[in-house]
Amino acid sequence: MIVALVVANSPLGTLYEHFLALPTGFNGAGLNLNYPLLNWINDGLMAVFFLMVGLEIKRELIDGKLASFSKAALPILAALGSYYRRRHPGRYRLYHVDFYRSALLS
């Protein structure tokens, strides 16, 4: 990772960008899987990341700090609240500037 950072910021940066844009994959059996190398890297790393996160959550729910419902209730409610907030962005503007302005002026 450090090598990639150094190369990307060196005079070889354009060559590195062209390398990451190389189409890689295969065609056959009705599949067209030719994508740039960067997409393969990003998708592969994201799959591994979410696999590890899922396994860690499962471990915590089975025999970790979230094994009992009373300890897991707060994180579950926070996740549900975050999901609801993203689905309905116009509601519940507690952190809006007008809220603070009215609180300071009163």
Note the pLDDT tens digit of each residue in 34-62. Answer: 889 999 888 988 999 999 999 998 999 89
CA distance 16 to 13: 5
Note the pLDDT tens digit of each residue in 72-100. Answer: 888 888 888 877 766 666 655 555 555 55
**Mean pLDDT for the chain?**
82
pLDDT of residue 90: 62
Q: Which of 20-34, 58-72, 85-99 has the lowest mean pLDDT?
A: 85-99
Output 105 or 31, whichever has higher pLDDT. Answer: 31
DSSP 9-74: TSTTHHHHHHHHTSEEEEEETTEEEEEEHHHHHHHHHHHHHHHHHHHHHHHHHHHSTT-SHHHHHH
CA distance 6 to 21: 18
Both tokens of 20, joined, read 């990451």
